[in-house]
Copies of this chain bind each other. A is one copy, B any other.
Amino acid sequence: MSNLTAPRSPSSSVGDYLKAVWELARDSGEAASTKDVAARLAVSPASVSNMFARLQEMGLVSYERYRGATLTGRGRSEALRLVRRHRLIETFLLGHLGYSWEEVHEEAERLEHAVSDGFTERLAEFLGHPEHDPHGDPIPAADGTLEPDDSFQLGRAEAGEQVRIYKVNDDDASVLDYLGEHNLTPGRLLTVREVRALDAVVTVEDEEGESHSLGEALARSIFVQKSQ
C-alpha cells in the first residue's frame, strides 16, 4: 500500500539540522560544528555526526570529518524556505493570535514543519506580504532570496551617530519584553550619546527625547543600521 517509497521532501528533522547550520553560520561565519548543532537541537553529538553524513549524501551540506558542515546552495534554499515559514508564522501568532514573545518561538518551531508551501503563501497574502517579522528579522522571499543584513550591535556604534533599530535578538524573551515596554523596537531612530568602554553601557536618546542607558546584555540584543 503506497509503498512506492515516494521521495518526499526532506523530513522534518533534516530541516531542523539545516536551519541550525544556517543560523550558526550566520552568527559565526564558520562551518557548523557537531557540538554547537547538538546543543542547539538538544541531541547528542553522535546524532549530529550521523546526520551530517546523511545531509552530505543528499547534497545539502558539504561536510568534512572533524571539520563541521557548511550548507550547499540547495541546503541553503531549503533552510531559507523553513526560515520563511517560521517568520511568517511568528508574525501571525504575535499579530493575530495574541501570543507573547516567550510562547511564540516554540509553537512556530513545531508548525513550520507541518505547513505546506501553499499554506505559507496564503498566510503571506493574509498578512499583507510582510518583509520583516516582528523582531525586525527579514523574511526570506518565496524564491529563496534574503535581504542582505548590514546591521550591527548597538554596542559597536559610536557616540554621536544616528542609528535606526533594525532588529532585536529573539533569544531571550525577557530582554524582548523589556525592549517592547520601552519602545525600543525595529524602525525606531536613536541618537547615540555615549558608548562607555569601561562597562559597555550605551546611552541613547530616542525620537521623543527619552534617554536610555543600556547595559551589555541589552546593547548586544539591539541591532542597528546607520541612519543616512
Listed in ascending order, the chain A residues whose CB lies under 8 Å from chain B are 1-2, 38, 42-44, 93, 96-99, 103, 107, 110-111, 113-116, 118-119, 122-123, 125-126
The listed residue (B42, B110, B119) touching A97 by CB distance below 8 A is B119
Q: How far is the CB of A195 from chain B (nearest CB, A)?
A: 40
Question: A43: which B residues are within 8 A, CB to CB?
Answer: 1
So how many copies of this chain end up in the complex? 2
Q: For A114, what are the chain B residues with a Cβ–Cβ distance below 8 Å?
A: 110-111, 113-115
A126 touches B107 (CB 8 A): no
A71–chain B nearest beta-carbon distance, Å: 24
Q: Sorted from nearest, which 5 A-B pairs have the closest CB atoms?
A: A114-B114, A97-B122, A110-B114, A1-B44, A111-B114
Q: Which residue, A2, A42, A99, A119, has most C-beta atoms of chain B within 10 A?
A: A119
**When the two chains form the complex, which single residue of B98, B99, B115, B126 contacts A110, counting CB atoms closer than 8 Å?**
B115
Task: Kindly state the separation between the CA atoms of A216 and B38 in the bound complex, as whole angstroms.
Answer: 59
With A113-B114, A114-B114 already in contact, 20 other A-B pairs whose C-beta atoms are closer than 8 Å: A1-B38, A1-B43, A1-B44, A96-B126, A97-B119, A97-B122, A97-B123, A97-B126, A98-B125, A99-B122, A107-B115, A107-B116, A107-B118, A107-B119, A110-B114, A110-B115, A110-B116, A111-B114, A111-B115, A111-B119
Once the chains bind, are A103 and B126 in contact (CB under 8 Å)?
no
Q: Which residues in B have their C-beta under 8 angstroms from that of A110?
A: 114-116
Docked Cα-Cα span, A97 to B116, in Å, equals 13
- With both chains docked as a complex, state the minimum distance between the C-beta of A4 and any C-beta of chain B, in angstroms: 12
